[in-house]
Amino acid sequence: MTKKNFNDEENESLLETYNKQQQKQSISTTNRSDQKFGINNANKQFSLNNKKSINGEEIDEEELIEDTIFFKFKLDSKQRNSIKLFIQIVSLVILAGYLISINALYFSTNARSIIFYPSINSNTTDSGSVSPTSTPSPTPTPTPSPTSLLLQTLTSTTTSYDSSEIEALNGGTFNMKYFFYFSTFDILLISYFISLFWLLLIFSDSFIYHTISYIITIIALIYNVIKSYFTITQILSINNNIITTSSSSNEIYNGSDSYLPNESPLFDSLKVREIIIVIVLVGIPLMVLFLVLHIITLQLSFKKYKRLSDKEKQFYNQSNEEKRLNKKVEVKHSNLKRLIQLSRPELPIILAAMVALVFSSLTSLAMPYFFGSIVQVVATTHSFNNLNSSTLALVVIFVIGSISTLVRSWLFYLAGQKFVARIRRNLFSSIVNQEIGYFDQCRTGELLSRLSSDSQVIQNSVTVNISMLFRYTIQIIGSVILLFITNWRLTLLMLGIVPVLAISTVVYGKKIKQLGKQFQDELAKSSTTGEEVISNIRTVRSFSKEQKFIDLYSKDINGSYLIGKSLAVATGVFSGIVFLVAQLAIVLIVYVGARQVLDGTLSTGDLTSFLLYTLSLAMSLAFISSLMTDFLKAIGSSDRIFEIFDRVPAINVSGGKQIQNPLGEIELKDVEFSYPTRPNNSVLKGLNLKLSKGTITALVGPSGGGKSTVIAMIERFYDPNSGSITFDGIDIKELDPVWYRGIIGYVSQEPVLFAGSIKDNITFGNDSATMDQIISAAEKANAHSFIEEFENGYDTIVGERGVRLSGGQKQRVAIARAMIQNPMILLLDEATSALDAESEYLVKQAIDEIMKDRTVIVIAHRLSTVINANTVVVINQGKIEEMGTHKELLNNTDGIYHNLVKRQLSSDD
């Protein structure tokens, strides 16, 4: 079989088809190994060396494709959601059907006398009825099976019976109305509790939504187990009641004009086992199926990938390299999940805190029980002994709870501090490891805001708040369990508020998260304005622009204030809804519970305990709602932080080749370059330049021509858009940046000193330098003499950015800093342009000294700086216009260099 050849037209068609499929399905490539550490490469560009890990194997991104049934059948997002919804509806129907069956079985056990004693105490003797005093038949009729029991219960409507006799035997009668009410309530409960959440989950891959959905699913299954348990205990209770009630008589009516011996219970042990087995064998598989369907639905929201085969590579080949390089990758991951993953080093401390938290929560759950016991003692027994024992138990519980709370708070706060400190270290590391082009696009104040404000928001959430969240979660679960034990009917009534709270959390949660991120963005803007003004206060003062920047800062603050107002409204409405629903639920429970107390079906102590548990549950829900707003704010802040974590530097910080015996030759070949902030404006246009070992090359030309850009390219602050830069014949992209920059000394036009001592600034180029080396470097830079004049000498503090030194002094310290690393290549970017004549003379002497036996590239406008250069290169508008010695270029009267020298000589005159 011959392989099919694709021409260019077919390739373009296939490319268009493939891109449409990607757009429809929002394919997101996810680095599995990065997920493990909470790091993924969001919004990064495809590149030839991008790798993805599948089963531990690194694979190029272009060899991967989504491996899901949705992709194979080319289903769009609407079709996917329809399939998910169908699966959810099926699982909901299964669960609802099971609950209705349980209700029917539960109430049918209350109707046992209807089936087995259809005409007890009836005075008629026809139609198969007999008097209770009649002689029983010696032949018993077989007991109906559970299935016939249920069918007869639901279909029997013609038989009359004595309610007092029936209630004496079984404690109640079957009531179709109650069966309908309970079944309807179950359906509504499950619908609110699960379906509405799932409908939201269809359109979201958020980790928090999935977590909540799993929790609700488990609660629903627990509810099923509770209903099944009550049904089984009801059957056992009925069986025992019949035996006990009939013990005063020697015979029991069997439903066929005869009586059964009293040793034959209505549901014998075999029948009881049958019913229980039916519940277990039917209920557990249905609940497992329900859970499996739910898990499948969630898993369908995620993508997985496989390696492309050769045939698939051919089909999905993208011939247009530019499109492939410019294609952005959309990655959606929950930052909350990533924050949790990043907290793994603190896991031992968190586990210890969790133990203390469990004890603290259990003591809180025990208090309502003992309070109820005290009320019951006061209302009934009036026993001082019982009152004293219950009070003493409360005191012990309070002491244990206080100690547990102390340990819990301490450990959680300690874990949170360690976690946030690591977040800040990693964030700072991510920032400083970015390429220079990144800082061209970002403002300093915004980055500082992410380091301070955003990390502070996260710190508050993962310290105190996370411990409170766990505590209230345990209290909610414990309260619900104890409420079911105390009075399950009132508990079901109370749980009707949960769907309302859940929907409020989802609706307002999204809004609060969005507003929280916008709020932090506005704060970053104001921080940027403040940082710029304070850093340049002399310029601001010299132009009397204080009020202008005050107004600008006020405008930025007003923006954050307006968003803060909206955030306050959203938070207030959310808290108000939670409080209102909780209080209305309490009022309803008090009313229904009071009626049960008056009816004698509930004791005063149990009602007191129930109300206290309800208040505990309501308070826990209210606190969690408040904590959720803080967590959502933290997630909004983490969005901004993880943007930095996820960003892969365009230039690696370290790693690569190291040349053992370098010569120091540099060559630029056909270099094209434009700055990231001005991508359409080419700064270098096909530039070619070779720098030989031990030579001095001077770059001159009009401002904006590209001279400083050449220096930046050699330093590898940027990579060229096209072309190459080689060092000793090796592309500098292949070299270790740390090693490469270690052999380069760089002195910028505006030297920057750090807020430390002179000694610290000089040793910045060599941390292991001795004092003799420091002094030697300072002497070569012509800086030793003025340093010695200071009272503290080399320990003199220079101030922020070296403000305590003059321009010439700062420049000489910067030269000493470059010299102490003994560089092979020296880059001087107009090092004397901003100095007065005396400072220029001293700095020039220092430069002449350090240029010996080194490859030097110097940029200068002054003739005195370049006159001794081996080669003078004239750069204009990104191209080399002229190249030669000073004399050669000066003889070209029509050249740019000749005119530059002529104008400078005229200005000096």
To the question of whether residue 526 is assigned a binding role by annotation, the answer is no
CB 445 within 8 Å of CB 528 = yes
Q: Is 706 annotated as a binding residue?
A: yes
Q: By three-state DSSP, how is residue 830 classified?
A: coil
At how many degrees (to 10) do helices 807-819 and 837-850 cross? 10
Rounded to whole angstroms, the Cα distance separating 566 from 508 reads: 12
Task: Answer for the pair 513, 636: CB distance below 8 angstroms, yes or no.
Answer: yes
Who contacts 830 (Cβ-Cβ below 8 Å, separation ≥6)?
A: 708, 749, 859, 860, 861
Give the Cα separation of 572 and 578 in Å (integer).
Answer: 10
Q: Tell whether 656 is in a known binding site.
A: no
Largest CA distance in the chain: 144
- Reduced to 3 states (helix: H, G, I; strand: E, B; else coil), residue 646 is helix
- CB neighbours (10 Å) of residue 733? 15
172 marked as part of a ligand binding site: no
Buried b (16+ CB within 10 A) or exposed e, 346-361: beebbebbbebbbbbb
Closest CA to 813 of 775, 770, 836, 781: 781
509 is in an annotated binding site: no
Place of tokens 């002399």: 538
Residue 634 C-alpha from the chain's centroid = 9
705 is in an annotated binding site: yes
Q: Is the dihedral of CA 109, 113, 117, 118 positive or negative?
A: negative
Q: Is 664 left (phi over 0), alpha (psi -120 to 50) or beta?
A: left
Question: Is 895 annotated to bind ligand?
Answer: no
Residue 240, SS3? helix
H helices present in 743-827, as ranges:
758-762, 771-780, 784-789, 807-819
Kindly report the CA angle at 734 between 730 and 737, in degrees rounded to 5? Answer: 110
3-state secondary structure of 645: helix
Report CA dihedral (188, 193, 195, 198) to the nearest 10 degrees. Answer: 170
From 129, 346, 108, 60, select the one nearest 231 (Cα to Cα): 108
Give dist(CA 771, CA 794) in Å, integer.
Answer: 10
Q: Which two tokens stand for residue 533?
A: 């003004």
Query: Residue 785, class by beta-carbon neighbours within 10 Å (0-12 exposed, 13-18 middle, 19+ buried)?
Result: exposed
Q: What is the DSSP string of 631-644?
A: HHHHHHHHHHHHHH
Name, in order, each residue with C-beta under 8 angstroms of 329's C-beta and a sequence gap of 6 or more.
28, 29, 41, 42, 43, 44, 45, 46
| DSSP character string of 527-573 | HHHHHHHHHTHHHHHHTT-HHHHHHHHHHHHHHHHHHHHHHHHHHHH
Contact 701, 707 (CB under 8 A): yes
Is 701 annotated to bind a ligand? Reply is yes
- The CA distance from 371 to 386, in Å, is 12
Single-letter residue type at 724: S
Strand 666-673 to 305-307 pairing:
unpaired
Side-chain-side CA neighbours of 417 within 13 Å: the count stands at 6
Chain-centroid distance, C-alpha 124 = 76
Q: Are 620 and 411 in contact (CB under 8 A)?
A: no
For 166, the token pair is: 């029936």
CA gap 490, 611 in Å, rounded: 10
Residue positions forming the annotated binding site for ATP: 701-708
Residue positions forming the annotated binding site: 701-708
